[in-house]
Structure 1
Amino acid sequence: MSGQVRWFMPVIILLLTMVGCSNEEQSQGTEPLEMIKVQLMVPDEVSIKEDVALQMKLTQGDRPVDDADHVQFQVWNEENEPAAPAADKGMMSPEDLEAQGAITAASAGDGIYEANYTFEEAGVYVVQVHVTAGSMHAMPRTKVTVVSGEAAAQ
């Protein structure tokens, strides 16, 4: 029996060495994914009934991303924030966002996505973009003040 153990131990050591080396080679070949970066480009102030281009720039590392899975702008008056999804539901789907009035943005190239929007009433609005690119999701927001035509002229 001891002869079998002596023969079997070198085989196990050889197998462990081969497995360890192959895992090391794989881990060296894969780089960690860089996070996506979303830069909102929305004016701070607009006039009522003015057609506004809501824009954002999407990059990963220092490269523009033109093939995001979903980019949608959601706009609401800050006094009427939409209800958040239930905790057990998780992130809202693009279809759920669209049902709440979100606008799908189109790629303009060089990582820029845009959608047009017209504000119908004066007030302070929240503009939030929902971006999904691969396995990453970002949803930054900013505020826009909408003023009447007379206030904008002054």
Structure 2
Amino acid sequence: MKKLMFIWLAVMIIISLAACSNNNAAEEEPQFLDVKLSIKPEKAKAGEPVVFEAKVTYGEEEVTDADEVKFEIWRANAEEHEKVLVEHAENGIYRLEKSFKEEGTYYIYSHVTAHRMHNMPKKEFVIGRPSPPENESGSQEENMDDNEHGSH
């Protein structure tokens, strides 16, 4: 009788634990690293300051301690890309102010690594008169991906 009671108690404990862990798993939604990249102004004059901001969140939480935030900036169809490490400014915002001497169409990636995730939104902006844009399906972006991100 004691043996049967012990087995019944063990089964009830296991069922209770399984029910609790299933409830916790259902309540926890997966968290993702979100990066909202903004450029102010998106069309500027040569020599005029441009402000780049990456608003970084993980779920509802503002990320103030990202492992790395780097802005990669280049003029359309240029081989060289400038990479600038950016520090946290405030409220999950990583900010860079920069001016450009040469007119044309430019691009920026914000490479953000935090919470063992990487997110890299890209935007286009113009300084003065636009230059011919890059071909989105062209080799420029593919080459950068191969060299910069290790995808083969």
- Relative to structure 1, the CA distance from residue 71 to residue 35 in structure 2 (aligned partners, 3 Å threshold; closer, same or farther) is closer
How many residue pairs were aligned?
128
Q: Deviations over 1:76-130 (max 9, x none)?
A: 0111256xxxxxxxxxxxxxxxxx5311112111111111222121110001111
State the identity as a percent: 26
Aligned to 2:31: 33
Letter in 1 for 2:101: E
CA offsets per residue over residues 18-69 of structure 1, 9 Å max, x none?
A: 9857865774686532442323234211111223222121123333221111
Aligned-CA RMSD value:
3.3
- Provide the secondary structure at the position in 1 that maps to 2:77: helix
Tell whether the 8 Å contact from 1:76 to 1:127 is kept in structure 2 after alignment: yes
2:89 paired residue number: 108
The alignment partner of 1:48 has SS state of coil
Tell me whether 1:135 sits opposite 2:133 in the alignment.
no
**Consecutive unaligned residues in structure 1, runs of 5 or more:** 1-8, 83-99, 149-154
Larger mean Cα displacement after TM superposition, 39-48 or 72-81:
39-48
Does the 8 Å CA contact 1:104/1:115 hold for their aligned counterparts?
no
Contact 1:40 1:140 in 2 (8 A): no
Q: Distance in 2 between matches of 1:73 and 1:51?
A: 16
Alignment partner for residue 147 of structure 1, among 128, 144, 148? 128
- Secondary structure in structure 2 of the residue aligned to 1:33: coil
Contact preservation (8 Å) 1:130, 1:140: yes
- The runs of 4+ residues in structure 1 deviating greater than 3 Å are 12-31
**Structure 2 residue 123 is the aligned partner of structure 1 residue 123:** no
Greater relative contact order structure (CA < 8 Å, 6+ sep):
1
**Alpha-carbon distance in 1 for matches of 2:123, 2:20:** 48
Residues 51, 41 of structure 1: alpha-carbon distance in 2 compared, 3 angstrom cutoff: closer
